Amino acid sequence: MNFLVIEGNIGAGKTSLAQKISEEYNAKMILEQFAENPFLPKFYKEPEKYSFQLELSFLVDRFQQLKTELSEHDLFKTFFVTDYFFSKSLIFAANTLADDEFKLYRKIFNTIYTSLPKPDLYVYLYVTPEKSIENIKKRGRNYEQEIEIDYLEKIQNAYFEYFKQHQNEYKFLIIDTNNIDFVNNPEDYKKIKDVILNQNHSKGINRIIL
């Protein structure tokens, strides 16, 4: 394993899991710098007005970060682990941009996407939209409180559609985490860690319920 991606809907716990794995296995962690995006709070309040600016800025930021971090090999780290992958940009943009904007966006995405390394395993933490809302409220980020369940459902469906379209390219591991708490329960963390790192997964879509 050289490059592990941990994804999920908003509030799924992807960053928490990436941090725990990174600490235990001395992996180089790459976290999405979403908090620094000035368009994010504006987008949640006025999505139609700020969607293109938001998605384009995320595209540039994610590409620059991954391109830089993944090219810097650290002899003292075992592997890379991230809480997002570049394809996330396309998934979100497809649900927030108008058709003409998305066509332009996709051209830019396709131009730069091929120059990035691809993950050895792409983990998706599945929680219901209702569970996502519950987690979002718990962590209390002000700009996230405007998120609606319909938006989360659209994003979740877009991820699943992406997995279907690219199942011949990657190893996707979808883990249902609705009934576990890997952040606060050591036994639950051990379960999900073992599934990710100690089991073999075939190319395509692999599903596990914990």
Residues annotated catalytic, as ranges: 83
Residue of 46, 156, 42, 32 whose CA lies nearest to 95: 156
Distance, CA of 180 to CA of 17 (rounded, Å): 12
Residue type, 26: N
To the nearest 5 percent, what fractions of the chain are helix, strand and coil? 55, 15, 30
> Who contacts 109 (Cβ-Cβ below 8 Å, separation ≥6)?
59, 89, 90, 93
Between CA 144 and CA 92 the distance in angstroms is: 15
**How far from 172 is each of 94, 183, 203, CA to CA, in Å?**
20, 22, 7
CA–CA separation, 74 vs 90, rounded Å?
Answer: 29
| Cβ atoms 55, 109 nearer than 8 A | no
Q: Cβ(127)–Cβ(11) under 8 Å?
A: yes
Residue 44 near residue 146, CB atoms below 8 Å = yes
